[in-house]
Amino acid sequence: MDRSTPGRIMLVLFTAFFMLMIAIPFLYPYGSFTDLGGTAGVIENWDALAFANPLTRTVYSIGDLFCHQEMPRSFIINGSQMAFCQRDVCVLAGFIVGLLATDKKICPIYVGSRRFAIAGLLMTSLTFIEWGIELGFSVDVPAAKMATGVLTGIGIAAIVQYAVAKEYEKTMGFKKEV
């Protein structure tokens, strides 16, 4: 196993989940999943999803647990809102892009560098800054939400790859693998 293996496993799993989120609304009649809004941290739509198959119900229940799922802040596909809001979908997309970009075969930059981790933290902080501006000025700018979401996802991937590289070095007794 090399340092890219954990990232590649996450890449496959998160990409599969992302593709399911996109595909599921097309598998049901137009507008099947609407008004799923609620509170993050609570599964509130389990009964509303009773008509759906177990896989669909699981994907939307994960969204229900981790996201507010407000209809106006969600992407709409086939008349249905996605399982997660725009920001969360973009964070996931950015995470996938970041995992691809930081793979050992693609990324010429050593991901175990402290500068790499700091860059990841700075990118991740953008969503918090955007969120604070949104709350402080009572504005909703979907384009900013999506852009910062993608950058945050890339930043999270950078942090994950940094942590994996450091653990790999510690476990294997290596320093700076290219």
* pLDDT tens, residue by residue, 32-47: 999 888 888 888 888 8
- Please check the confidence at residue 112 and state whether its pLDDT lies above 90: no
Three-state SS annotation for 64-79? HHHCCCCHHHEEEECC
| Residue 174 in this model has a pLDDT that exceeds 80 | no
AA letter at 38: G
154 and 119 in contact (C-beta within 8 Å)? no
pTM to 2 decimal places? 0.90
Task: Tell me the percentage of the chain whose pLDDT exceeds 70.
Answer: 97
Q: Is the pLDDT of residue 173 over 90?
A: no
**More confident position, 147 or 109:** 147
What stretches of 17-173 adopt beta strand conformation (E)? 74-77, 80-85
